[in-house]
A and B are shown apart, each in its own frame.
Chain A
Amino acid sequence: MREIRIIIFMALTLILTVFGMLSAEVTRKNIRFVEYPDFPDAHSTWSSIGYSKVHQKVFIGVTNHRDKVGLFEYDVNRDRMRLCGFLPELVNLRDFQWQGKVHSEIIEGPDGCMYFSTDGGESREEYLMNHPHGYGGGFFFKWDPAEERLTKLGYGMLYESIKDITMDRISGRIMGVSYPQVHLLVYDHQKNDLRDLGRVGSDHVPRVLFSDWFGNMYYVDWRQRLVKYEHDTGKFLFSRDSLPAFEGTPGNRVITGITACAEDRANGVIYLVTYGSKVVAFYPARLGFGKMEDLGGIYDGDPEVRQPYDYYCPNVALGDNGMLYYFIGGHGSYVDGEERNVLMEFDLRKKTKRMVLSFRLKEISEVTGSGVKDEGGNVYFCGRKRDPGAEMMGESGASKPFMIIFNPTKEIAP
Chain B
Amino acid sequence: MKRGMLTLVAAFSVLAMFRPLAAEYKFFAPRGSFTVEISLENTDRLRLPIYRNAITSLTCIGDYAIGGTRANEGLSPFLFAASLSSRSLEVVLDLAEVLPGQRAIQSGFGRVENVFYAGTMPDKEGSSGHLIKVQFANKRFEVTDLGEPVKGEGTFALTADSSLNMLYGISHPSGRFFSYNIQTGQVQVYEETAVTERQLAYYHHYALEPEDFLSRALVVDKSGRVYGSRPVNSVFRFSPQSGKIETLKDELPIVWGRRPLGRVDSWALARDGTLYGGNAGDGQLFKIAPLTGKLTNLGKPIMMPRLVGLAFGCDGKLYGVAGALPGYAHLFVYDPNDSGFTDLGNPKFPLHVPEIAGELPWRGFQIATVAASEDNRYILMGEDESLSQLMVFPVK
Inside 8 A of B387's CB, which chain A residues have their CB?
198-200, 221
Q: How far is the CA of A165 from the CA of B365 in the complex (A)?
A: 22
One of B228-236, B334-342, B354-362 contacting the partner: B354-362
Contact: A249 with B363, CB < 8 Å?
no
Contact: A237 with B356, CB < 8 Å?
no
Contact: B326 with A159, CB < 8 Å?
yes
Answer yes or no: A127 CB below 8 A from chain B CBs: yes
Answer yes or no: A151 CB below 8 A from chain B CBs: no
Q: How far is the CA of A130 from the CA of B358 in the complex (A)?
A: 32
Inside 8 A of A159's CB, which chain B residues have their CB?
326-327
Q: How far is the CA of A238 from the CA of B385 in the complex (A)?
A: 16
Which one of B44, B328, B386 lies within 8 Å of A200 (CB-CB)? B386
Contact: B363 with A203, CB < 8 Å?
yes
Contact: A197 with B363, CB < 8 Å?
no
- How many B residues touch A, CB cutoff 8 Å? 32
One of A24-32, A62-70, A250-258, A330-338 contacting the partner: A250-258
A276 to B: closest C-beta gap in Å: 9
Inside 8 A of A242's CB, which chain B residues have their CB?
356
Answer yes or no: A129 CB below 8 A from chain B CBs: yes
Contact: A251 with B358, CB < 8 Å?
yes
Contact: A223 with B21, CB < 8 Å?
no
Which one of B25, B40, B41, B357 lies within 8 Å of A251 (CB-CB)? B357
Inside 8 A of B40's CB, which chain A residues have their CB?
223
Secondary structure type dominating chain B contacts: loop
Q: How far is the CA of A245 from the CA of B360 in the complex (A)?
A: 14
B353 to A: closest C-beta gap in Å: 7
A283 to B: closest C-beta gap in Å: 19
Number of A-B residue pairs, CB cutoff 8 Å, is 89
Chain B, residues 342-360, CB within 8 Å of chain A (1/0): the string is 0000101011010011111
Contact: B42 with A254, CB < 8 Å?
no
Inside 8 A of B326's CB, which chain A residues have their CB?
128, 157-159
Answer yes or no: B24 CB below 8 A from chain A CBs: yes
Secondary structure type dominating chain A contacts: loop
Name the residue among B25, B303, B360 with the largest chain A CB count within 10 angstroms. Answer: B360
Answer yes or no: A321 CB below 8 A from chain B CBs: no
Inside 8 A of B44's CB, which chain A residues have their CB?
240
Inside 8 A of A74's CB, which chain B residues have their CB?
none
Contact: B362 with A198, CB < 8 Å?
no
Contact: B303 with A198, CB < 8 Å?
no
Which one of B51, B351, B356, B386 lies within 8 Å of A224 (CB-CB)? B356
Which one of B51, B346, B348 lies within 8 Å of A198 (CB-CB)? B51
Answer yes or no: A202 CB below 8 A from chain B CBs: yes
Q: How far is the CA of A204 from the CA of B363 in the complex (A)?
A: 9
Answer yes or no: B50 CB below 8 A from chain A CBs: yes
Which one of A123, A198, A240 lies within 8 Å of B385 (CB-CB)? A198
Chain A, residues 231-255, CB within 8 Å of chain B (1/0): the string is 0000011111010010001111111
Q: Apart from A181-B365, A199-B385, what 11 extra A-B contacts exist at CB < 8 Å?
A: A157-B326, A180-B363, A199-B365, A199-B366, A199-B387, A224-B356, A237-B42, A240-B42, A251-B359, A252-B360, A255-B360
Instruction: List the 4 closest A-B pairs by CB distance, nearest first.
Output: A198-B386, A124-B24, A251-B360, A203-B361
Listed in ascending order, the chain B residues whose CB lies under 8 Å from chain A are 21, 24-25, 40-44, 50-51, 303, 326-328, 346, 348, 350-351, 353, 356-363, 365-366, 385-387
